[in-house]
């Protein structure tokens, strides 16, 4: 795949459960674009403060400077001058993220989006299902189940908190396979 759109843009979506390497893959693609001397703009939602306030950061501490935004509409003015736009933790954005990505792709931008496809209940998370449908390229990554070692597509919450959004890492979540995942009781 070309890393620079020619006469067209596109949307790449990287999804999966917690600890599957979504941000790591996003950073890998963005670094390759930087090596190619493309102008890159990186965004994350303000709610994501786990490792840094102004970087996207993988669980293994790879990081890139990013713009912190409150809403999807804030991405458009900052992303228009870039060749490649990276967006992390897309599940935390409002549904306007879908239109923002489509608009940027229609402006001949390469848009790379990473996010959780399902929440801890195993339900579709935020705008991710629609982004996955709009994707020109879609990668669903798996983690490793912490119980049995099988490929894991589920995020097991290990606290009693029942809100859909609880920003955390291994202190609140584990990667689980289909067999080891324990859906929360309603």
How does pLDDT run across 149-173, given as a tens digit for each residue? Answer: 999 999 999 887 766 666 656 578 8
pLDDT of residue 167: 61
Query: Considering the entire predicted model, what is its pTM?
Result: 0.90
pLDDT of residue 61: 67
Considering only CA atoms, which of 6, 29, 39, 34 is closest in space to residue 108?
Answer: 6
pLDDT of residue 169: 61
User: What residue numbers bound the domain in which 112 lies?
Assistant: 10-142
pLDDT of residue 29: 97
Which residues in the chain come in under a pLDDT of 50?
none
Give the domain CATH number at 23. 3.40.50.300
Residue 152 domain-assigned (yes or no): no
Considering only CA atoms, which of 30, 109, 14, 33 is closest in space to residue 63?
Answer: 30
| pLDDT, tens digit (0-9, with 9 covering 90-100), for 8-26 | 899 999 999 999 999 999 9
Sign of CA dihedral 36, 96, 45, 156: negative
Residue 150 domain-assigned (yes or no): no
Residue 83 domain-assigned (yes or no): yes
pLDDT of residue 42: 94
Residue 58 domain-assigned (yes or no): yes
Residue 161 domain-assigned (yes or no): no
- Calculate the alpha carbon distances from 41 to 38, 64, 105, 156 in Å: 10, 10, 14, 32
Report the domain count for the chain: 1
Rg, C-alpha atoms of the chain:
16
pLDDT of residue 172: 84
Tokens (6 digits) for 121: 């209940």
Residue 165 domain-assigned (yes or no): no
- Residues labelled catalytic: 89
pLDDT of residue 18: 92
């Amino acid at each position: 795949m070309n890393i620079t759109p020619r006469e067209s843009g596109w949307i790449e979506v990287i999804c999966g459960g917690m600890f599957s390497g979504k941000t790591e893959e996003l950073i890998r693609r963005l670094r390759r674009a930087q090596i190619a001397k493309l102008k890159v703009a990186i965004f994350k939602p303000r709610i994501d403060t786990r490792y840094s306030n102004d970087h996207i950061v993988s669980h293994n501490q790879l990081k890139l400077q990013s713009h912190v935004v409150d809403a999807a509409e804030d991405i458009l003015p900052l992303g228009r001058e870039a060749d490649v736009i990276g967006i992390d933790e897309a599940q935390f954005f409002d549904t306007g993220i879908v239109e923002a990505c489509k608009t940027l792709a229609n402006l001949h931008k390469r848009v790379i989006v990473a996010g959780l496809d399902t929440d801890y209940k195993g339900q579709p998370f935020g705008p991710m299902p629609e982004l996955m449908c709009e994707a020109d390229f879609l990668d669903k990554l798996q983690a490793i189940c912490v119980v049995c070692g099988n490929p894991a597509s589920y995020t097991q919450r290990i606290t009693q908190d029942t809100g859909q959004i609880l920003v955390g890492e291994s202190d609140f979540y584990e990667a689980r396979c289909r067999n080891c995942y324990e859906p929360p009781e309603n």
